[in-house]
Structure 1
Amino acid sequence: MSRHPSSSVQSAREALATRLREIRLDSGLTGRAVAARAGWHASKSSRIENAVTPPSDADIRAWCSACGADGQAEDLIAASRSTESMYVEWKRLQRTGLRRLQESYEPLFERTRTLRVYCSNVVPGLLQTPAYATALLTEIAGFRQSPNDVAEAVTARMGRARFLREGDHRFAFLVEESVLRYRMGDAATMAGQLGHLLAVMSLPSVSLGVVPLDARRGMWPLETFSVYDTDRAQVELLTAAVTVTSPSEVDQYLQAFARVGRLAVHGADARSLITDALDALP
């Protein structure tokens, strides 16, 4: 298996491989001896130790058993599962529908004090109206052929919006002006959504910036991403959700957010762009 496209995932895989190698060295065994005791080819031990092949739960248990370190197996399995959850295909996350995925974000939102969100394609989820969310999630469910529980998923998403008004949370949103123009649903849906943006941007916990179409770019339009405090970022690709925890990578997203923020307008100027988009609706 080649290196993972996310350096956070690759670093976590390498850290796990290093722990397994240390367990082997502490036991005084060679990789070939571990392979013989585990009942697999010697090359597999090498691939595991060099983070070429991610070990399965059974592989980790066999490795620890061979090295007389059974007590460490469960912690290592937990670390391995955490690593693999950093890059998860949407079809896996949404295989039972959209509602459970929406609900799964609740604990993360609950403990996050400062959330930064950049969107170049749609209105951020926390700022969506029920009609807009219904139009978007209906399209997502159809495209990914997931079970149609859109109504329940929309209810869960709307419930999460309470964090805009409750608790000690701060939200900074940046959207490209094109987001205001992209038609999600019919004209009435878009009118309601744009009007909602005008309302929520006045909340004390919310900062909403809009990057004008004619802004002289210093930072190119990026994929949608969110940064939770300063220790986690989530990036939304077409096929997968990527969770970034490596400090250097999270810092890059924070830097990108700051650079995009310098292109954005806020307050009255942002309201003007939203109003222009409203006026352009048929």
Structure 2
Amino acid sequence: MPRNTSINADIRDARNELGARLRELRRAAGLNGQQLADALSWQGSKVSKIEHGNQTPTDDDVRAWCRTAGAEQEVESLLADLHTLETRHAEWQRQVRGGLARVQESVAQRESATRILRTFQSTFVPGLLQTPGYARARLEQSANVWGRRADVNEAVAARMARQAVLYEPGRGFHFVIAESVLLFALCPPEAMLAQIDRLMSLAMLSNVRLGVIPFDTSYVVAPTHGFSLLDDRLVTVETFTAELNLAQPQEITMYRKVFDSMALAADYDRKARTHLHRAAEQIEQRNNAREQP
């Protein structure tokens, strides 16, 4: 499967930015690339590769670079950038080697460390709100992509176990979904009807807020992709090939702004239930039409 080019471009840009910062420190110290390499007992090509984003430096590389350039005050900031670069692109191929259930357990650990979870989705029901039937259909789709059908049952159970966090005191959840989520045929009709009923029930929890953005809404920000905001410390974005983890303050601020825009566009409570009821009726009508000879 080809890699997601927009995500790869994002990683490349981040690596280039880190390299540019290191290059500025070298130049400010009055060193050319070969002089820095000689001082560090490196091959000259290593300095060039790091500065042009073709090689990711290690923690020790960054510390040695700053020490030689007389810029040790920049170490912590540069290491923060480096660690963000290392974690922002976690390939699914690597994650699913341990099985789909293992992925669910990893997500559960992250959610258990979160007090306020905000999620926007324009395509599918968020995992924490899924029924077993809907979850099975979604996980089988993932299994078909990755060839990991063997542990679908375990993965469904693990996804259901994640939902215990919804009932823990001191936690808050705000979900916003586009109305399209309710009508995409991502599972059998009967499973989707049960899923809509589940959404109605969960929306009644005092710590869960569920908003639905109607089809006829004029978006201020296009619903380009779904994402989750964990407290104000991490944003996660899922693609076909990877999970993008964003932890820079400016990124979190931007996604919080986008989420707030989506939340303002959504209907809640009685209006949200109206959308849910209407979607259920459309699914039933569509299903009945298919069954007619």
Do the two structures share a fold, i.e. TM-score over 0.5?
yes
Higher mean displacement: 192-201 or 272-281: 272-281
| Structure-2 change in CA distance of 1:155 and 1:16 (3 Å) | farther
**What runs of 5+ residues in structure 1 fail to find an aligned partner?**
68-74
TM-score of the two chains, using structure 2 as the length reference: 0.78
- Matched residues in 1 for 2:259 and 2:59: separation? 41
Change (3 A) 1:239 1:175: same
Q: CA–CA distance in 1 between the matches of 2:80 and 2:151?
A: 30
When residues 7 and 52 of structure 1 are mapped into structure 2, their CA distance, relative to the original with a 3 A threshold, is closer
Of 184, 189, 205, the residue aligned with 1:182 is 184
Match of 2:3 in 1: none
Separation in structure 1 between the aligned mates of residue 106 and residue 15 of structure 2, nearest angstrom: 25
SS at match of 2:261: helix
Q: Out of 11, 14, 19, which is 1:10 matched to?
A: 14
Counterpart of 2:248 (choices 225, 246, 249) is: 246
2:290 aligned partner: none
1:99–1:207 CA distance, 2 compared to 1 (3 A) = same
Q: State the shift of 1:56 in Å.
A: 6.1
1:151 aligns with 2:174: no
* Percent identity over paired residues: 32
Q: Which amino acid aligns with 1:52?
A: G
Amino acid at match of 1:237: T
TM-score normalized by the length of structure 1: 0.81
- Residue 101 of structure 1 corresponds to which residue in structure 2? 103
Distance 1:108 1:9, change over 3 A: farther
* 1:221 aligned partner: 223
Distance (whole Å) between structure 1 residues aligned to residue 213 and residue 92 of structure 2: 28
- Given residue 10 of structure 1, which amino acid in structure 2 is its aligned partner? A
SS in structure 1 at match of 2:134:
helix
Flag the 1:147–1:17 CA change in 2: closer, same or farther, 3 A: farther
* Preserved CA contact (<8 Å) 1:227 1:254: yes
Are residues 205 and 46 of structure 1, via their aligned partners in 2, closer, same or farther at CA, if it must alter by over 3 Å?
A: same
SS, match of residue 187 in structure 2: coil
Residue type of the alignment partner of 2:203:
M
- Distance (Å, rounded) in 1 between the aligned partners of 2:236 and 2:212: 21
Residues 8-52 of structure 1: CA deviation (Å, up to 9, x unaligned): 981797189749x68xx7xx997536645877631222322x261
**Whole-Å separation in 2 of the counterparts to 1:29 and 1:184:** 58
* Counterpart contact for 1:13–1:83, Cα < 8 Å: no
Cα distance change on mapping 1:147 and 1:83 into 2, 3 Å: farther
Distance 1:8 1:205 in 2: 39
Looking at structure 1, the residues matched to 15 and 170 of structure 2 have their Cα atoms a distance apart, in angstroms, of 33
> 2:174 aligned with 1:172, yes or no?
yes
Shift of residue 59 of structure 1?
A: 8.3
Alpha-carbon RMSD: 3.5
Corresponding residue for residue 120 of structure 2: 118
The 2-side partners of 1:103 and 1:242 are apart by 18
> 1:146: Cα distance to partner?
3.5
Q: Secondary structure at the match of 1:107?
A: helix
Size of the alignment, in residue pairs? 268
The within-5 A match list for 1:222-237 is: 222-237=224-239
Deviation at 1:217, TM superposition (A): 2.5
Spell out, residue by residue over 1:46-92, the C-alpha distance to the aligned partner (whole angstroms, 9 max, x if none): 322x261333659849x68x97xxxxxxx999985663221122222
Distance 1:12 1:187, change over 3 A: same
